[in-house]
């Protein structure tokens, strides 16, 4: 039974009743009575309340031995460490931290009922570690014989080499005859790198980029953003009807929208976007051989589905890449969050702030001791004095 425990007199009682919880049904009650009767306690109160309630819980022993304490943030550990304490040794402590605010967790959960059947997909990294039906999911749901993979030639992140090796190794673990083939431009320096990783022309796993596209059922387009913008017309022309185009970034959609174009209507378009750089995608996949759960989280997108295979292919490919956790998004949300969040804020704006603050100190507008705490006002002063 799921039961909500609240402080007596809390205004949240009305909100809980509106959501369908009630004292009559035994799903709503006093916080400490609820803790005493429960085997799993989800402590989702504020940080300050966690500190004060923990003292009461420790003194009064509301939690029973072998209970499980569930958290959605690690703050409480930090507080305990700061006062030289630890969690009680007779209970288990687990943490599940949704990467979003409370309202969005509920909204996207409800939205998921209509958008996809699988709201959250968690799988082990390796086919030999997961259930037989998941192994079949990797092997059979792709409906492909040859899978094309286009290596990232220049720039960051180097998804190409990492994904090619992960997919090849997962294919071997699943004992399927699917071929993972790398397609490169003629004369590319990446040919040597691909050969060093075990791909070769003799084995049919390495070849020309456009020949590879023409002979494939699934095309993984992992070249740079600029190369995608320059070559998408030729790439689309070499794809067969009912092919699947798979991306690891939504930039191409943004470029197509800017020139008032769209993907060809006779192909499916999906994306699996690992949340890490190329080398870490490979490193954590290999680490997963010994540590189950190691791997890079990923988002997945079904942008266009012409024959009903797209969701199966996207999720299977995320598993084959070694993602222990995969969540749904849209192609537009992915590229906008990447460009404005990762590339804008993380890579550039943060650096510019540091440069601005340094120049403020040099001009004598600010003291180094106060710069960090007064950043907004100092930036305004800098603009006036520049």
Chain centre distance of CA 14? 35
Picking from 38, 151, 130, the residue whose alpha carbon sits closest to that of residue 91 is: 38
Q: Percentage helix, strand, coil, to 5, in the chain?
A: 45, 15, 35
Cβ-based neighbours of 165, under 8 Å, separated by 6 or more = 197, 198, 282, 285
Dihedral of the alpha carbons of 273, 278, 283, 289, in degrees to the nearest 10: 30
- Residue of 249, 303, 358, 373 marked active site: 249
Does residue 249 carry a catalytic annotation? yes
Gap between the Cα atoms of 239 and 269, Å rounded? 12
Gap between the Cα atoms of 293 and 199, Å rounded? 27
Instruction: Provide the 3-class DSSP secondary structure of residue 269.
Output: strand
Which residue do the tokens 């003292």 mark?
55
Picking from 297, 333, 303, the residue whose alpha carbon sits closest to that of residue 318 is: 297
Give the DSSP per-residue string, 113-168: HHH-S-SSEE--SSGGGS-HHHHHHHHHTT--SEEEEEPP-SSS--HHHHHHHHHH
For the record, the structure tokens of 365 come out as: 């507008």
For the record, the structure tokens of 383 come out as: 């603009």
Task: Quote the DSSP letter at residue 309.
Answer: -
Catalytic residues: 249
């Amino acid at each position: 039974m799921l039961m909500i425990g609240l402080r007596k007199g809390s205004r949240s009682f009305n909100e809980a009743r509106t959501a369908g919880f009630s004292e009559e049904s035994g799903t709503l009650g006093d916080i400490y009575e609820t803790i005493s009767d429960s085997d799993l306690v989800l402590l989702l109160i504020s940080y300050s309340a966690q500190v004060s309630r923990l003292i009461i819980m420790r003194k009064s022993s509301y939690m029973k031995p072998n209970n499980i304490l569930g958290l959605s943030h690690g703050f409480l550990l930090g507080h305990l460490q700061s006062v030289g304490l630890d969690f009680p040794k007779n209970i288990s402590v687990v943490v599940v931290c949704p990467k979003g605010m409370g309202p969005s967790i509920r909204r996207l959960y409800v939205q998921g009922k209509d958008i996809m059947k699988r709201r959250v997909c968690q799988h082990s990294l390796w086919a030999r570690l997961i259930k037989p039906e998941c192994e079949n999911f990797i092997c059979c749901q792709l409906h492909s014989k040859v899978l094309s993979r286009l290596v990232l030639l220049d720039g960051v992140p180097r998804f190409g080499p990492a994904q090619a090796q992960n997919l090849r190794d997962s294919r071997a673990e699943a004992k399927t005859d699917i071929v993972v083939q790398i397609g490169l431009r003629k004369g590319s320096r990446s040919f040597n790198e691909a050969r060093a990783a075990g791909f070769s022309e003799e084995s049919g796993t390495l070849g020309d980029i456009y020949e590879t596209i023409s002979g494939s059922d699934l095309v993984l387009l992992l070249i740079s953003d600029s190369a995608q913008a320059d070559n998408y017309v030729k790439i689309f022309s070499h794809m067969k009807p009912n092919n699947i185009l798979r991306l690891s970034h939504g930039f191409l959609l943004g470029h197509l929208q800017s020139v008032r174009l769209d993907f060809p209507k006779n192909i499916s378009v999906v994306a699996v976007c690992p949340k890490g750089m190329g080398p870490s995608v490979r490193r954590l996949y290999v680490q997963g051989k010994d540590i189950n759960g190691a791997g890079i989280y990923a988002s997945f997108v079904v942008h266009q589905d012409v024959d009903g295979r797209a969701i199966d292919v996207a999720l299977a490919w995320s598993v084959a890449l070694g993602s222990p956790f995969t969540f749904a998004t849209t192609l537009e949300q992915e590229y906008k969050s990447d460009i404005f969040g990762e590339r804008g804020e993380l890579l550039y704006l943060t650096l510019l702030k540091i440069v601005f603050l340094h120049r403020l100190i040099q001009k004598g507008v600010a003291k180094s001791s106060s710069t960090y705490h007064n950043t907004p006002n100092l930036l305004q002063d800098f603009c006036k004095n520049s």
